[in-house]
Homo-oligomer: A and B are copies of this chain.
Amino acid sequence: MTEVTLPRVLSALGDPVRLQVVRVLSDGAEHLRADFPRAVADSTLSHHMKTLREAGVIFSRPEGTRCYVSLRSELDDRFPGLLRAVLDADANSAEAGSASAFC
């Protein structure tokens, strides 16, 4: 894995699909393909998973033909509260409906 830095983590989180993936994983459990957005093509999702993996956000565990995905606990050790703040902001954003420009 490449070096884990805050800019890389933020950049990895800076995408709507990747935020959805992280929200699914935020329960702390391992998840399979079926738990992630179905509207996203497998190849596209794989690309997003790779970005999150390389940024140190997620961990993939292959088992037979399955791939279990989870959040890396080290992320919260390294940047305490960051993911929670991002997910809270994401929730507020979703509640507010479509985003409006500031000016």
The chain A residues found within 8 Å of chain B, CB to CB, are 1-16, 18-19, 56, 72, 74, 78-82, 84-86, 88-90, 92-93, 96, 99-103
Contact = CB atoms under 8 A, between A and B. Distances in A.
A100 B11 contact: no
A102 B56 CA distance: 7
Stoichiometry, copies per complex: 2
A80 B101 contact: no
Contact of A93 (B5, B11, B81, B100): B5
A39 B79 CA distance: 27
A101 B2 CA distance: 6
B10 A99 contact: no
Given A79-B92, A79-B93, A82-B89, A101 B7 contact: no
